[in-house]
Structures are given as structure tokens and as C-alpha cells.
Amino acid sequence: MKNLVRALRTQRDMAQGQLADAMGVSRQTINSIETGRYTPSLPLAMALARYFGVTVEEMFDDQAS
Amino acid sequence: MIKLRNPAICRSRWFTPLICLGLGVVVFAVSALGGQLGGGLISLAVLVGFGLIMLLLGSRSETIRGLTVARDERFAQLDLRATALSGLVMLLAALVFWLVEVAHGHNGHPYDWLLAIGGLAYLVSFVFFRWRG
């Protein structure tokens, strides 16, 4: 699923590891989300959206192919 | 800081090596009881070695840590898929062995029991998880 995680993370000059620590997941999980290979659970998607101050709909685009 | 990780699946780094050691001791004891001391020692050494490799590599590899001590939701999902696939492969292997045994004129033991247990476990767990929602 396409998302803004990488864009929002790099906007804040954060490394994947830092975001992973903040979310309590592994760096690989953040990488998989950013590349669209892994769709996070609803709690993690909400935590990511809350962390970056956007809505889940803004962060994740389920319409994009 | 947001913490999503379930503490129950954040184990000590010694968890896997100790499980391997425990399993090795059990296999060794059973082998010794069956008069196969050499085989038991080899099994013990293999299991202890595997546990130590997991312990050493765990500090370097996130994949090994996810497999052993720190399992986040993605690793939990990977574990679930891998477990399901392993179960399917085991059942298919048991089915093939059972067919071969029957084709050779045998009664299919113990593969018939393995297939029955596997099938029953699947049905019971399916109903259980459906009931739990």
C-alpha cells in the first residue's frame, strides 16, 4: 500500500531506526512499510499517523495501484 | 514514545539457547535410555551449537532477533505464515508417506494417526478461533 511514511520521516531528518524505536518495531518493519511490502496493523498505522500529526487516510492510500 | 510491542514476546536473549539446551538434554536422556549414547551426544551438541549461534548472531542480525527475542507485529505475522506453511508441508508429507505405505500393502501406521491428528487440530483450532472472533 502506498504511503507517506518515508516522505514524512525524511522531512524530519529521521533514520528508519529512530522511527522504529519510537514505534516499538524493528527497522526492517519500517522499511517494509515504506516500500509498500507490508501493510501495518490498524494500531501501528494509527500510531504512525499520530506520530506525524496526520490522519491515517492522509498517510495511507489504499486507492493507489 | 509509543510502545506497541507486546512484552510477552520480548524474551531474554538467553531464551532460545536455554530452550535448545533443555531440548538437547531431553533428547540426550531419551537416547541414553534407548542405548544410543553416541546419537544422543551428537543431538545435544547440535542443539547447543544452534542455540549458541542464535545467541551470537542475535546481536548482529535484526532478522535473528525477530526470530528469537524481539518479535514485532510483522515478525509475528511472518511466524504465523511460516508455521502454517510448515504444518501444510508436514501434512502433505504424511499424506504421501501414508499413500506409499498403503500401496505397499501396509496399514499406513503411523502416518494415518499423524494425518488424523493434523486434520483434527486444524478443525478444532478453526472452530476455536471463529468462536473467539
pTM: 0.76
pLDDT at B61 over 70: yes
3-state secondary structure (DSSP) of residue A60: strand
Question: What are the tens digits of pLDDT across the range B74-97?
Answer: 998 998 999 999 999 999 999 999
Q: List chain A residues with CB under 8 Å of B73.
A: 25, 29, 40-41, 44
Q: pLDDT digit string (tens) for B8-52?
A: 455 688 888 899 999 999 999 999 999 999 999 999 999 999 999
Judge whether residue B7 has pLDDT over 70: no
Rounded to 10 degrees, the C-alpha dihedral A18/A24/A28/A34 comes to: -70
ipTM (interface predicted TM): 0.83
Give the integer Cα–Cα distance in Å for B76 and B57: 20
CB contact under 8 A, B65 and A50: no
Whether residue B4 and residue A32 make contact (CB cut-off 8 A), yes or no, is no
